[in-house]
Structure formats: C-alpha cells, structure tokens
A and B are shown apart, each in its own frame.
Chain A
Amino acid sequence: MQKQVLVLEMSMPVLFLAGIKNAMNEKEKYQKLKEIVQTYLPDDVSVDAIRPESNFTTELNINSANLVDIVLDVEDVFDITLENEDMDGMLTVGDALTIIDNKISDK
C-alpha cells in the first residue's frame, strides 16, 4: 500500500506541489476517492489498476452511466457540489482529484 502511494506522489508532482502544505490530506483524499471508484470497477479490473492517470471509462472500463454515481459519492464524501461543467472535464482519476481540490479550496 505504501509503495502505491509513493508511485502516486511521483506521478503527480503538480498536484502535490499545489497541496504540499497538506500532504497527508492529499493522500487521504486519494484514498477516499479510490474507495469510491473501487465499487464501480468491473470484476475483471483490479483495484491496483486505479492510478491518477487512469481514464475512468477507457482504462478502468467503468460503465459511463456509473460516472454520475461516482460524482454523487464524491459529493457526499467530500461535502462538495459538482457542476455540469466540472463533470465534463472529469475523465481521469487525477481530473477528479483536481476538481475535488478546487471545490474544497473554494469552500
């Protein structure tokens, strides 16, 4: 598990620089998001496949219809509200993290 987080940190320098003062929180956010996404993975896709750069539909094979459910779960877990425009740009796990960060900092 620790190893995975390291991979994450290395592949997301921008995100982590932005949130460097609160690095632990970033890990927690990612973990929470991963737990949400995990529910919607098809049987033949493992949790380990979830990476920041993973595209929800083309790489994780999540049914596009379920994207709206992921958004609802994100809203509940992070106590934020996503607009239509936010969802349009949410193609990868990393996109979702960026949107979550922006929404939390806007609060």
Chain B
Amino acid sequence: MQNRVVVTGLGVCAPNAVSLNGFAQSMAEGSSGIQFQEELKQLNFSCQIAGKPNIDRINLNNHFTKVQLKGLNASGLVYGVVAGVDAWKDATLATASSKPDWDNGIVFGTGILGVDKFRDAIYQVDAGEVRRLGSTTVIQTMASGISAFLGGILGCGNQVTTNSSACTTGTEALLMGYDRIKNGYAKRMLVGSCSDSGPYVWGGFDAMRILPRKYNQDPKSASRPMSATAAGFVPGSGAGALVLESLESAKARKAHIYAEVLGGAINSGGQRNGGSMTAPNDEAVQHCITSAIANSNIDDNDVDAINGHLTATSKDPNEIKNWAIALGRSGEHFPYVNSFKGHFGHCLAAAGSVECVATVLQLEKGVLYGNLNAEDVHPDIAALVSKSKILQKTIDYKAKIIAKASFGFGDVNACVIFSRY
C-alpha cells in the first residue's frame, strides 16, 4: 500500500523575505528582493546585483547553540537552518528530546556549502596553519553539513541526507522525501535546499556571461522572466523548506494541511539531442512533465497553473514551448504560468525549494502570484500562450492543481504536481 503525502509545514529564508508571512506578502504584492551589491562592484563583476536574504534581524541564538555560532561563516547553512527549523515549527512538530524519532528524516540539498568558510581554510592551510582550522571547518564545508545540522537540532532518526543536482536540487529533494513517505520508509520528511550568497558562488556565472550586465542602476527591473528584454538571470541565494508527511500521520495529529503532493518525476536528457552541460534536451523536459502528470493520475487539462523554472534567459521561450508540447495546450487553453525569479532572482540550488514554498502558498491562500517585469512578453512566448495567462498582477484564483518544474546544469529535470487538499 502506498501512502498519500501532504505538506504540513513551510519555512523560507529568501531575498525578498525571511519569514513565511513576510514572504507570502511580498509574493502577493510583487515586491522585489534584488539589490545592488557594492561588494560585487568592488570585485569588477559585470553583474553587480543579486538576491540575498537579509538576516540581520534574525536572532541566530534561537537557531544555533553558542558553540555552533562560533566561527560560523557559511551563509547557505544559516539560511537552511533558519528555513528548516521554521518549517518544522510551522508543522507544530516537536524536536526529539532524549532519543531520535525513527520516523522523521531529512533530504536537504545544496550546490556547495560554506564557500566563505572554505576560503578561510585555504588561506590558513596555505600559510602552514592547518592546526588553526579548529573543529568547525569540516562540518561547515561538507555538502551534507546542512542536513547534519538540521538532523541534530531536530533529532531525526530516519534518513538524513543532502542531494545535489544544480538548480534542480530543491525540487529533487522534495520528490526524494515524497518517495520515502509514499513507500512507507518514513512518516515525516523535512525537505528543502539552500544556497550560499556571495562572489565566490556567483563569480563563475558572471564569467559565463549569463547574468544581466545593464541593470546595475536598476536592480528591480533586472530579472525579467518571459520578457522580450530578458537579459540573463539575476543570481540569488537563500533556502526553502517543507515538511512532508503521510496523510495518515497528519490526520492523526490534526496537523494543518497546506497541500497534497500528487506525484512527480525526475529525469535527465543525457546531454544528447540538443542537451548539454548547460542546455536542456527538450525531449527530456517534455518527458519529465508527461511522466509527472501520468504518475499523479491526472489529465493534462487538470493543470490549472504552472510555476516554471523560467530564469529570464534566452531559454525561456524554449521552456514554454516544452510545456505546451508536453501538455498539448496552447493559446487560451494554456494554464496560467508564472516565474518567481522576477521577485528574488535565481536562488540556484535553493531555487526549487523556495519556489515550491511559494507554489504551495498559492494553493493555501487561493491566489496566483503575478510575474514581475514580464510586461513585454517575448514574441515567441506570445505566439504560443495567450497573454492573459501570463499574469502581470496577483489574482484570486483557487487552483486545484499546480505543476512546478526545475531544470539544472548537467541536463537534469524535476517536475512536481501539487494539489489543493
């Protein structure tokens, strides 16, 4: 027997807000979290804007012990712990006291963890001061540091792991946790992902010339998903977290249910047929979407809205074309579609989870969030989709089913189907 899986907790640490309520408000209002970054200017970046969570007003003593805070220099780890612990509390779950809870697990992904900490370590090692690294370097720079920190704080006794699949990471983590509960291996899984802020993470993308270079004086207009004037993705950072739970467990403890995860799919284009390290194989994207629809036992026409990957590069029309082909829907029949990257940029490894949190909030609040900076819809997109489906403002709309997809370097794809419960 397979379990139904529902979402019972949400947490977020995003460039536009670091609390769930603030995030919901920012998404609905369409306020941008993208800002000019003086540090990037000093370092001669072409793109000097980014999305970075403002955690100045968060009291980290509520999330970390004194010892953990000592020498803490891993921004993604901080975002991940804040989002993860907040999601757990939002689900009204307790932290294990004396012995671990064997039914609680974690899949919390990242692209690379503790880059700033690693930089410190490299300087110390090169100076022959390896002894001075102390005990904090390994735990803040190992990829699984984030799931390890959360596992310890919450006392989880089921699988505690970190996945990594570039910009697909967050959505993949959700589906990995979903599989585990569906198959009866766990009752509750904290899923999500985090991504560091700063020049060492963003620099490589700046060098690849895929970031916008002409919006340094106008950061809020820079991230333009689906726009004819899209000029590249704005680098972001942060973390999103969701508590997934078997329907049975959620009902038994009378938990609030935000949404149900009906199913989903993960695949790869094998870097063949137009797919490469950096570009998706269209056929694989379509296959991922149709598989997700099929294993969710729904029909193409049941999808009320799409939250795309849509990063604001020249690939956006391609993605829309893939959705249209996969769902067999176009023009007025195409579902509503939005991208949240206009609000907070592309949070890289954290993108999928932060966007999944926002997608679930749409179901919870009975709204669909408007796109930012998509007034001038790309002609290739307008040729496929009625402009009325590309929301310019948040609308009240009780969607029953929303599809969310993420795609990443390495030609990897993930698509999840959420339903109102």
Contacts and interface: CB of A to CB of B under 8 A. Distances in A.
A binds B: yes
Interface in A36-85: 63-65, 67-68, 84
- Tell me if B's interface is mostly helix, strand, loop or mixed: loop
Interface stretch (B29-37, B176-184, B186-194, B206-214): B206-214
Interface string A68-107: 1000000000000000100100000000000000000000
B213 A84 contact: yes
Contacts of A64: 278-279
A84 B46 contact: yes
Contact of A63 (B46, B209, B213, B278): B278
Contacts of B142: none
Contacts of A87: 209
Interface string B204-237: 0001110001000000000000000000000000
A89 B207 CA distance: 17
Interface in B222-281: 276-279
B12 to A, nearest CB: 31
The size bracket of the interface on A is under 10
Interface residues of B, number: 9
Interface string B295-333: 000000000000000000000000000000000000000
A65 B411 CA distance: 14
Contacts of A65: 208, 276-278
Most chain A CB inside 10 Å of its own CB: which residue of B209, B276, B278, B279:
B209
Contact of A68 (B207, B213, B276): B207
A63 B276 contact: yes
Nearest to B210: A65
Contacts of B279: 63-64
Contacts of B213: 84
Nearest to B278: A65
Contacts of A63: 276-279
A65 B278 CA distance: 7
B209 A68 contact: yes
B29 to A, nearest CB: 34
A63 B207 CA distance: 15
Nearest to A85: B213
B208 A68 contact: yes
A67 B276 CA distance: 14
Contacts of A68: 207-209
A64 B278 CA distance: 9
Contacts of B276: 63, 65
Given A63-B276, A65-B276, A68-B209, 11 more contacts: A63-B277, A63-B278, A64-B279, A65-B277, A65-B278, A67-B209, A68-B207, A68-B208, A84-B46, A84-B209, A87-B209
11 contacts: A63-B278, A63-B279, A65-B208, A65-B276, A65-B277, A67-B209, A68-B208, A68-B209, A84-B46, A84-B213, A87-B209
A-B residue pairs, 7 tightest by C-beta: A65-B278, A63-B276, A68-B208, A68-B209, A65-B208, A84-B46, A68-B207
Interface of B: 46, 207-209, 213, 276-279
Interface of A: 63-65, 67-68, 84, 87
